[in-house]
Amino acid sequence: KAGVTQTPRYLIKTRGQQVTLSCSPISGHRSVSWYQQTPGQGLQFLFEYFSETQRNKGNFPGRFSGRQFSNSRSEMNVSTLELGDSALYLCASSLRQDQNTGELFFGEGSRLTVL
Amino acid sequence: AQSVTQLGSHVSVSEGALVLLRCNYSSSVPPYLFWYVQYPNQGLQLLLKYTSAATLVKGINGFEAEFKKSETSFHLTKPSAHMSDAAEYFCAVWTGGFKTIFGAGTRLFVKA
């Protein structure tokens, strides 16, 4: 069974630009979560989607948005990039159904550098 | 609301020594607890999980953790460290719903 796939793995942008990151979950998983990882802040929860609906959201500005498609693939978008948005963005998929233990399966991440 | 506290952002042990990484949680309902490991330039992978079936949980690579409700702790241990254990370790809590909370992480260094 294929794992969680994130694209692109690395990207460089300049301040003010926008970026879109993609995540393909494990087949059969309907939940996709996004996290921002930085050396100073650790793993910060961005949002979680389940069945194409955003079910929970972390404490990030509106520049951070996401969506989920009918095949469970998800994208996140960051507009008007700032230097502080430089981070590793991790996507995780999960079953999130009854009797599920809540285990998350992570992709390798998309490393964004903002210059 | 739930939260996770990992004591010590960095832990250094000698090869062959005991590994102990500390995790305390706060939750108003019975939690599911997890330990994940992250190697450089990779995502996180599950080491072990507590799901109320047994308080002592065994995971991959010789790691284990014990759930202690009275202490609200879920510390990770390994009897003998190996160089390949050097990585960052994250404790996490989930209480159902659509959000998993992670601790700040503990970076483990293993000295030869």
Give me the residue from A33, A50, A107 closest to B100, CB to CB: A33
Can you give the pLDDT at residue A17? 98
Mean pLDDT of chain B: 93
The alpha carbon of residue A43 is apart from the nearest alpha carbon of chain B, in Å, by 7
Confidence of residue B40 (pLDDT cuts 50, 70, 90): confident
Q: Does A26 touch chain B (CB under 8 A)?
A: no
Q: Does A92 touch chain B (CB under 8 A)?
A: yes
Q: Does A31 touch chain B (CB under 8 A)?
A: yes
Q: Does A40 touch chain B (CB under 8 A)?
A: no
Can you give the pLDDT at residue A2? 77
Between chain A and chain B, the number of residue pairs with CB atoms below 8 A apart is: 62
What is the pLDDT averaged over residues B47-51? 92
Sign of CA dihedral A6, A8, A12, A14: negative
What is the pLDDT averaged over residues A75-98? 92
What's the Cα-to-Cα distance from A110 to each of A65, B79, B82, rounded to whole Å? 16, 34, 29
Can you give the pLDDT at residue B54? 84
Can you give the pLDDT at residue B92? 95
The alpha carbon of residue A80 is apart from the nearest alpha carbon of chain B, in Å, by 26
Share of chain A above pLDDT 90, in %: 87
User: Which residue of chain A is at minimal alpha-carbon distance from B44?
Assistant: A106
Residue A110: Cβ within 10 Å count: 22
Confidence of residue B41 (pLDDT cuts 50, 70, 90): confident
Q: Does A33 touch chain B (CB under 8 A)?
A: yes
Chain B residues within 8 A (CB-CB) of chain A? 32, 34, 36, 41-46, 49, 51, 90, 92, 94, 96-105
Task: Compare A1 and B58 and report the one with higher pLDDT.
Answer: B58
pLDDT at A1 over 70: no
Can you give the pLDDT at residue A99? 57
Confidence of residue A98 (pLDDT cuts 50, 70, 90): low
**Would residue B16 be called left, alpha or beta, if left means φ above 0 and alpha means ψ between -120 and 50 degrees?**
left
Q: Are B4 and B101 in contact (CB under 8 A)?
A: yes
Residue pLDDT, tens place only, B83-111:
999 999 999 999 888 889 999 999 999 99
Cross-chain Cβ contact A102/B32 below 8 Å? yes
Which residues in A3-14 are b (16+ Cβ under 10 Å) and which e? Answer: ebbbeeeeeebe
Give me the residue from A6, A35, A96 closest to B98, CB to CB: A96
Cross-chain Cβ contact A35/B103 below 8 Å? no
What is the pLDDT averaged over residues B52-76? 92
Confidence of residue A97 (pLDDT cuts 50, 70, 90): low
Cross-chain Cβ contact A106/B49 below 8 Å? no
